[in-house]
Amino acid sequence: MSEIKNCNDHLFAEIEIESGNNTSYEPTPIPQSEELVVDKKREIFIAMRDISRSNHSAYFLNTKFYNKQIQYENSKIFYKQAEFMKDFEDDYTNIVPFSSYFPYYQLMSYEQLRTYFTWRTKIRRGSIENTSLSYAFIYIYELLNNIGVNNPIDGLNKLLTFWKTFKGFDKTIEKYLIKWIKDYHIYYELPKSFKEFLCENELQRHYPDIASYDPEMSCIFEQLCSISRYNIKQSIFYSDETKHLISDCFDFVICKLESIFVKSGLEFNNLIFQSSKKKIDWMPFEGALFYPCLKQRNRQVMLSEDEIYTCSQYKWSRSMLITKNSGGQLLAYIFKQMEAVLRKLTNYKHKISANSNTISNDILLKLGAAGISLEKIITDAVLEFYKEKNK
């Protein structure tokens, strides 16, 4: 009968020889099987996969990624697995490609996991190399979830660096990152505005409406003329000779009004505009594996007139600005009072007057409580503008 013995860290087969046989035998080493070699990395991958099993989830086996509940569960498991693997590093020498329409760790083989984490290790050490697009998206998902970053600002910088470099290998990521980086600014409260970020990184061409939007200069002549109840462009006073005078004067008047309103605790734009009642449910990073684990305070993020994002009780919605009826009436009075003063200053043959009773009672009460005389402010502003213009 044969038995296995361990000698000097090698396995040997010890064979019993029948008596009477004088032939001598030396013990023969048996090659150590691969299964007996402890593979720490494989154990880590198994533990990572067990996170999905421990959550009793069959969602990763479900291909209906468009289902919101399935998306949520998939994202939650991905986030937990990513957190588990956030500090993992590898130095795998082989490169095994990976392709999936909706990539995540659970789909990847042992060799693919080692390939991915080796590639990620190189990125974290400063070298972004080309790889399968599916690996690139998994890395992006990690950054969107703030996995492997010090803080949201660090995460944004890593996203931007990866975008600028990897698009040289595959531009497919660009159309997704254009959307997701905007979402990143909405979801994570960053110290600088999205517009400042665009200007600093020369990304304005990807977001033309946001780049051109300026809340402090939103009350420009052309825009407000189109929503006023009184269209000054249809006035006989408005002509090729006077149009620049009128538009420049209006901008000056609005600046004066905004300044005085702010000092009195009023916001000019809030008297003119309101968010649309129709709000659309919004989730950041659509199409990505993203788990919204942060507690979000109630707030509003305005990127442009057409993009207003509101967080209320941890739920996000999107709306746009619309003109209040009372806002259109207020603008009509401002335009008409300004025109009345300009007609007088230019000795125009026809005079007009503006009636403050056309302004809504609600606005009149707010102005009165703040001690604001709209007629006086507009008149004084026009006189100041005209005097400066004709020095």
Residues 132 and 234 in one domain: no
Residues 174 and 265 in one domain: no
Q: Is 109 exposed, middle or buried (0-12, 13-18, 19+ CB in 10 A)?
A: exposed
pLDDT digits (tens), the chain, 391 positions = 444 444 344 333 333 334 444 444 455 554 554 454 578 999 999 999 999 888 755 555 555 555 778 888 899 999 999 999 999 999 999 999 999 988 999 999 999 999 999 999 999 999 999 999 999 999 999 999 999 999 999 999 999 999 999 999 999 999 999 999 999 999 999 998 898 999 999 998 898 878 776 655 544 687 788 889 999 999 999 999 999 999 999 999 999 999 999 999 998 888 988 877 778 899 999 999 999 999 889 998 888 877 889 999 989 999 887 888 999 999 999 999 999 999 999 999 999 999 999 999 999 999 999 999 999 999 999 999 999 999 8
Residue that finishes a domain, picked among 165, 188, 212:
212
User: Looking at the domain assignment, is residue 260 inside a domain?
Assistant: yes
Residues 69 and 14 in one domain: no
The answer for residues whose C-beta is within 8 angstroms of residue 341's C-beta and 6 or more apart is 378, 379, 382, 383
Give the whole-angstrom CA distance, residue 381 versus residue 391: 16
Which uninterrupted H or E stretch holds 252? helix 243-263
Residues 95 and 180 in one domain: yes
The answer for residues whose C-beta is within 8 angstroms of residue 245's C-beta and 6 or more apart is 342, 346, 389
Number of domains in the chain: 3
Give the whole-angstrom CA distance, residue 222 versus residue 244: 12
Residues 32 and 142 in one domain: no
Residue that finishes a domain, picked among 212, 231, 253:
212
Which uninterrupted H or E stretch holds 321? strand 321-323
Residues 57 and 6 in one domain: no
User: Looking at the domain assignment, is residue 171 inside a domain?
Assistant: yes
Residues 154 and 105 in one domain: yes
Residues 355 and 260 in one domain: yes
User: Looking at the domain assignment, is residue 106 inside a domain?
Assistant: yes
Tokens found for residue 156: 């944004």
Residues 135 and 77 in one domain: yes
User: Looking at the domain assignment, is residue 255 inside a domain?
Assistant: yes
Residues 237 and 351 in one domain: yes
- pLDDT, residue 323, reads 85
> Domain range spanning residue 128?
40-212
* CB atoms closer than 10 angstroms to residue 205: 8
Amino acid letter, 254: I
User: Looking at the domain assignment, is residue 303 inside a domain?
Assistant: no
Residues 70 and 199 in one domain: yes
User: Looking at the domain assignment, is residue 282 inside a domain?
Assistant: no
Tokens found for residue 274: 């309101």
User: Looking at the domain assignment, is residue 294 inside a domain?
Assistant: no
Task: Find, among 375, 329, 342, 321, the residue nearest to 250 by Cα.
Answer: 342
Residues 222 and 81 in one domain: no
Residue that finishes a domain, picked among 177, 194, 212:
212
User: Looking at the domain assignment, is residue 51 inside a domain?
Assistant: yes
